[in-house]
Chain A
Amino acid sequence: MAKRDIPEINAGSMADIAFLLLIFFLVTTTMEKDTAYIRYIPQKLEDVPPPPEIENRNIFEIKANSANQLMIRGEIIENPDDISERVLEFYRMNEKLTASQTQAYIQNSSYKGIDFPFYSRVTMQGIDDEINRNTDELERAEADDDENLITFYTKVLKDWDKKKAALKTLGGRELVEIHPQAHVRIVVQQQTEYKLFAKIHSEIQEALIELRDEAAQEYFDDTYSKMTKRLDQDKDDKKGDRKKVAALEVLFPERIIEVKPN
């Protein structure tokens, strides 16, 4: 009985197998990203001024009750997926009207878009006039040392500066903007599930992105989503996206009021 050598197993191909596995998992895994809807809480005011009168046509009210049922502008909605279409309708109904049409329809109660916000048009001259007027007001407030008015006019001036920048970026003679009071209002009850609340935000976001994407296509031959993504990756803003994104946000502002349930 001669002692036999046990042949060694060739492990050279082990690495190949390991890499094959590694690459398979590399390709198939998706890294979970944190995604969210960014929103702003209104600043806290010490003495709250009486809320301004807002016309119904400028309010897009979404109500959700404790049983997770939905109501949009007084109409019961079965499917929450319909919200985005309704938001789009809210923004688009009167968007394409010319200045003279707006003039004519705004008084005409039989016009189908009477319950939707109207758009106004401002020229560069108009914006400059507003800036000058508000600067004067701000100076007067500073002279009177009225804290509230100073905050107010500073904010108003900031808005007009944004509009000026937007009109410059978009080009053209006039800036078309939705009524400054037009907004989406979310009214929930205490027990409304967060799932539905998030769904409402999702639908609003979907509609806003669609509006901005479309405008971006028209003005810049690009999409809003791509521009924001590029901005995230490139802080130096080499392609000049920041101005464009700001302009699109002036065209279709995200104005959402979330009402605290009581």
Chain B
Amino acid sequence: MSKFRKENKKGAPGVNTSSLPDIVFMLLFFFMVATTTKESDPTVEVKRPEGVSATDLTPYKQRSEIDFLYIGQPRNKARAADFKLGHALFLDNVAQPQPGELYSTNSIAQWKLDKMNQKPSNMNEPISNVITCIKADQGVPTILIFDIREALQNINALKIAYAVEDKSAI
């Protein structure tokens, strides 16, 4: 009799949670490996146009063979009038053009060359093979894209990519 009573007195045994950290770390590592980080938050608004059959740029990002530049209306609406056709350029790691300096494609060449110098040493591609990805807003007038192209052509950075939101069925 007493034997049984003794055992019933105990509550439910606690769940052994010592392996929980293992599982959490596994998830953490998965996300660490699977994510690529965004370079920076652009100060211009970019809503990408839609398209199909676009190339996935992830492999290029992993090999750092790509630089991103953004073009769209500035988030600070008051400054919109300072730029050519109301659209500003955003280059990461570069001081933004001052209102007096206006929109200028002159800064692209310097930015691209700076970017080339910052590449990891295992990236051996010449500048003509390093992609410049143009992330442009839907409403950007195409002349601005051609301005960018011309600036890149002058420094022989000949590979470009037009960013779109891929709508093809996966």
Contact = CB atoms under 8 A, between A and B. Distances in A.
A88 to B, nearest CB: 13
A44 B138 contact: no
A10 B11 CA distance: 10
B165 A35 contact: yes
A34 interface: yes
Contacts of A201: 51, 162, 164
B140 A193 contact: yes
Chain A interface size, as a band, is 35 or more
Given A190-B143, A260-B146, A232 B59 contact: yes
Interface in B116-170: 131, 133, 136-143, 145-146, 149-150, 152-154, 156-166
A202 B20 CA distance: 47
Interface of B: 12, 14-15, 17, 20, 23, 27, 34-35, 49-59, 61, 131, 133, 136-143, 145-146, 149-150, 152-154, 156-166
Contacts of A191: 141-143
Interface string A40-72: 111110000000000000000000100000000
Interface in A182-234: 188-195, 197-199, 201-202, 205-206, 209, 225, 228-229, 232-233
A206 B167 CA distance: 12
Contact of A194 (B49, B57, B152, B166): B49
A36 interface: yes
Nearest to A190: B143
